[in-house]
Amino acid sequence: MTNTIPEEQTSKSTLPQLSNSEGITTPQPQSPGRLVLRRLFRNKLAIAGIAIIGMVVLTAIFAPVLAKQTPDKNGIFKTYLRETKIPPSLEHPMGTDDLGRDMLSLIIYGSRISIRIGFFSVGLAIIIGVILGALSGYFGGAVDNIIMRLMDIMLAFPSILLALVIVAVIGPGLLNAMIAVGIVSIPTYARITRASVISERTREYVQASRALGANSFRILAQHILPNALSPIIVAGSLGIATAILDAAGLGFLGLGAQPPTPEWGLLLSRNKSHIFTSPWMVVFPGISIMFLVLGFNLIGDGLRDALDPRLSNVGLKAPKL
Amino acid sequence: MIQYIIRRLLLVFPVIIGVTFLTFAMLLATGDPTSAMAGEHASPGLRAAIREELGLDDPLLVQYGRFVWRLLQGDLGRSIMTRSPVQSELKLFFPATIELAMAAMFLAILIGIPMGILAGYRHNSFLDLTTTLGALVGVSMPIFWLGLMLLWFFGLKLNWFPTTGRIDQGVELQTITNLFILDSILTGNIPALVSALRYLALPALALATIPTAFIARITRSAMIDILGMDYIRTARAKGLVERLVVTKHAFKNALLPVVTVVGLQTGSLLAGAILTETIFAWPGMGRWIVNAIIARNFPVVQAGVLIFALVFIAVNLLVDISYGWLDPRVRYD
């Protein structure tokens, strides 16, 4: 195969450890993980996604440095009543709101909340979902039936509606909204995990390790669950996108983050009555949400294509294995 | 086929029981409804009377049984705020949501399918790239933000469309189904039809974004898959007009995943309606439920959520059944 040389070149910048033997004509044996990463980094859209997320994460980390105005220790931004509703300018690139607060600063601090929402909700959903799915798939029978019927019931509700109901019961607030959004997506991960557990459970290597005296927990954790990892990663990154959107929706309805949190959905909601006089107060929070969600969607799509090259139709050819 | 349908129906029953139990339990989990009904400072006697009237002191299963029995008779309880039966409010709000959702789905199919076919046909072209990117942006967009932008631009700035409500106050319309479009057509009322369509335009467009994106994406990838098949090459080789190859041979077979996505998206349209209706003050189920949650008016929340879930289940069932009908292999899984 002569197509290894261009592959070398494209992977050099991103995965330097692969390029230490230059000019080789036979590809080195590679771990599946590396192959996936290599495919991912050749997907322009996925790189755009990584760049977006990277940017937002850096913004969140360096918020105190980047933001012109910073909140006090209670998270409250100072108001400047002489500078209300200033249109976007060099000094205030996203304008100011009706309290004279710099929109850009609010949005910079808001990025911390959205990132937290995404990872917390999906993390919660993955932990519970994987445990339920593993139990369900490994033990089968009644356990399986009960867990999976419960998941069916949860899936019978449109997701944001179920989240709304959970928030209605446990009360509004940022943490509760994150929990609600997390609970809603448990079935996705439970189903994925269950499917891979069932397909691996009867394999010979599992029987072998059982014969060697491994207990169920060890078999599940060490041998079976790693097989479920890649679909969970794909679902997880797409899931973060949905979680951020849903939580912003809850914030918009007044059932998620509460003032004075600069959560993007909440900013949109509190600024919406100013849309005619000062549209920038509404435009920028929305663009921010879209930007971050787009980033996670791009990575999710890219990962899916990288993990299953047959599905790839983004215009690049999957490397021959 | 009939066997397949019966099997699917049987699978739905436990889910329906679960859903009704969950909505029933929701009401219990929200605490003592007597304070919401009689106020925080109600006398113990009044509270006891309300508890008696609602049967709140009975065992859980008895209460659940009574709940289901009432449901079967079409009794959804009374709104705490208005004291009127929930189903009479439902009769107004449910058709509004259905009308909105159907209009949005119509738009999504009308835009999404041709876009997907073209993008799939001209794979890797500029058009394909814009469609793919557009679809990605579409699914990433917060629908409430898009709604606000449409409202601002087309409603306030250009003043093309009204921004809130369902129909002009001054227009007379004899309601039959409470689907205003259908009613105005049935009664031959042109001014009402025009007015209702103008009010419907912006919310339907906002709600259509996400399904349009999904439909375009799935149509595109199905077309790409199928245009690479041998029988397409055969059709071309025998000299068939390209238009027929695409429409008759390729698209017909690409339809299967598209139907699934249309069905599944119909379900999520209901969820999208919650946010869209809030922005455009569309008097439908979504806004009704949200307002009820904020006011802690739980009988309304309960009824609304239950109806949403049942519609969602029914739509999913229809998708499953149509899938078995379109692709017989599915039936023997």
Q: Is the CB of residue B15 less than 8 Å away from at least one CB of chain A?
A: yes
Task: Give yes or no: residues B10 and B64 share one domain.
Answer: yes
Question: Is B150 among the domain residues?
Answer: yes
Task: Give yes or no: residues B90 and B63 share one domain.
Answer: no
Task: Give yes or no: residues B151 and B7 share one domain.
Answer: no
Among B72, B101, B119, identify where a domain stops. B72
Question: Is B80 among the domain residues?
Answer: no
Contacts of B145 in chain A (CB under 8 A): 268, 282, 285-286, 289-290
Percent of chain A with pLDDT over 90: 38
Task: Give yes or no: residues B67 and B206 share one domain.
Answer: no
Task: Give yes or no: residues B100 and B163 share one domain.
Answer: yes
Q: Is the CB of residue B140 less than 8 Å away from at least one CB of chain A?
A: yes
Task: Give yes or no: residues B146 and B43 share one domain.
Answer: no
* Residue B156 near residue B163 (C-beta atoms within 8 A): yes
Find the residue in B nearest to A277 (Cα): B152
pTM for this prediction = 0.84
Reference A42, options A265, A314, A258, A290; nearest CA is A314
Whole domain around residue B38: which residue ranges?
2-72
Question: Is B77 among the domain residues?
Answer: no
* pLDDT recorded at residue A3: 43
Residue contact A161–B274, C-beta within 8 A: yes
Among B72, B99, B133, identify where a domain stops. B72
Q: Which of A83-92, B214-223, B292-301 has the highest mean pLDDT?
A: B214-223
CATH number assigned to the domain comprising residue B196: 1.10.3720.10
A169-181 per-position pLDDT tens digit: 888 899 999 999 9
A232-259 per-position pLDDT tens digit: 988 999 999 999 999 999 999 988 888 8
Query: Does the ipTM surpass 0.90?
Result: no
Residue contact A282–B148, C-beta within 8 A: yes
Task: Give yes or no: residues B101 and B44 share one domain.
Answer: no
Give the best residue of B140, B209, B268 to mutate against chain A (max A CB count within 10 A): B140
Among B10, B42, B72, identify where a domain stops. B72
* Residue B319 near residue B260 (C-beta atoms within 8 A): yes
Task: Give yes or no: residues B171 and B34 share one domain.
Answer: no
Whether B26 has a pLDDT exceeding 60, the answer reads yes
Name the token pair of B218: 């799935």
B238-262 per-position pLDDT tens digit: 888 888 888 888 888 888 788 878 8
A34-71 per-position pLDDT tens digit: 777 888 888 888 899 999 999 999 999 998 888 888 88
Task: Give yes or no: residues B146 and B61 share one domain.
Answer: no
Contacts of B152 in chain A (CB under 8 A): 275-276, 279, 282
**A220 by DSSP, 3-state: which?**
helix
Which residue among B136, B142, B313 places its CB closest to the CB of A245? B142
Task: Give yes or no: residues B200 and B261 share one domain.
Answer: yes
Average pLDDT, chain B: 85
Question: Is B119 among the domain residues?
Answer: yes
Chain A contact residues (CB < 8 Å to B): 45, 149-150, 152-153, 156-161, 164-165, 167-169, 241, 245, 248-249, 252-255, 265, 268-269, 272, 275-276, 279, 282-283, 285-286, 289-290, 293-294, 297-298, 301, 313-315
Whether A78 has a pLDDT exceeding 70, the answer reads yes
Question: Is B333 among the domain residues?
Answer: no
Task: Give yes or no: residues B62 and B132 share one domain.
Answer: no
Chain B: closest CA distance from residue A285 (Å) = 9
Reference B51, options B41, B63, B61, B68; nearest CA is B63
Question: Is B81 among the domain residues?
Answer: no
Residue contact B274–A275, C-beta within 8 A: no
Task: Give yes or no: residues B153 and B273 share one domain.
Answer: yes
Question: Is B293 among the domain residues?
Answer: yes
Residue contact B289–A156, C-beta within 8 A: no
Domain count, chain B: 2
* pLDDT recorded at residue A26: 58
B144-185 per-position pLDDT tens digit: 999 999 988 998 888 888 878 888 777 777 777 778 888 888
Question: Is B332 among the domain residues?
Answer: no
Which backbone phi and psi does A279 adopt, to 5 degrees?
Answer: -60, -25
Which backbone phi and psi does A15 adopt, to 5 degrees?
Answer: -125, 80
A10-28 per-position pLDDT tens digit: 444 444 444 444 555 555 6
Cα distance between residue A79 and residue A58, in whole Å: 26
Name the token pair of B72: 């079967």
